[in-house]
Amino acid sequence: MKILCIGDVTSPGGVKHLEENLWRIRKEYGIDFCVVNAENASVVSTLSLSQADALLSSGADVLTGGNHTLRSRGVYSLLENETRVLRPLNYPEDVPGAGYGIYDGAGYRILVISAMGTVHIEPTLDSPYPYIDRVLAREEGKYDFAILDFHAEATGEKVAMGYAYDGKIHAVFGTHTHVQTADECILPHGTGYITDVGMCGESGGVLGMNPEGVVRRMRQKLPIPFAPADGRAVANGVIFTWDNATKRTTNVRRISF
């Protein structure tokens, strides 16, 4: 089994890039299942119904979320009606949508969990640990492989999450910081891990955004609007390879296209 996980889609340009390239990449690398974090697809303002449809028809099997997912009320009905679009698990239970699902991938049942950290990130949610624990207990025996997208700011919080579920979740990957890290590894009990898979959007800026507006906001502390950068679009991700017999991760490979 080969699982492709792609970092935060930062703009409509990132959506278009995946529309044009994702099926080709899936075929080239023999990808069986693909998870895309899409919480920023509308430029730091969640994703639209049309963007979700475009990504799901372009090779994404599941869209995960983050701190911007619920920023617009327009996404609420999408979260309620489309089981392949997730928001972080550790939002209050009465928030629209779900934080996990079980999906078919090459004949295997794949549990995908979307969760959010609590360090230097807003809104501040409950600790994700009891939420994840409950899902694993509730769904025990109902899935073959498990994936966790941990959307968090602090690298230490992400690393700790990987070790916490080493041997319990088959792949743990971080999102949110938009910079692909070089610490991909297989943890001692067989979990594939990387602190951040990066982003999908225009290059040459600050985390996918035009540097002029970001610098002005940093200097002046004013709500300067962000706009996508001017460089060519690029997608960052990671490929986890799983052994179907042992249910262990055998390889973790970074990818950019």
Catalytic residues: 68
Amino acid at 165: Y
The tokens for 198 are 């990066």
DSSP secondary structure letters along 110-176: EEEEEEE--SS-SS----HHHHHHHHHHHTTTS-SEEEEEEE-S-HHHHHHHHHHTBTTBSEEEEES
Q: Is the dihedral of CA 149, 128, 161, 122 positive or negative?
A: positive
Cα(100)–Cα(10) distance, integer angstroms? 22
Cα(199)–Cα(212) distance, integer angstroms? 19
Residue pair 99/132 in contact (Cβ under 8 Å)? The answer is no
Cα(198)–Cα(214) distance, integer angstroms? 18
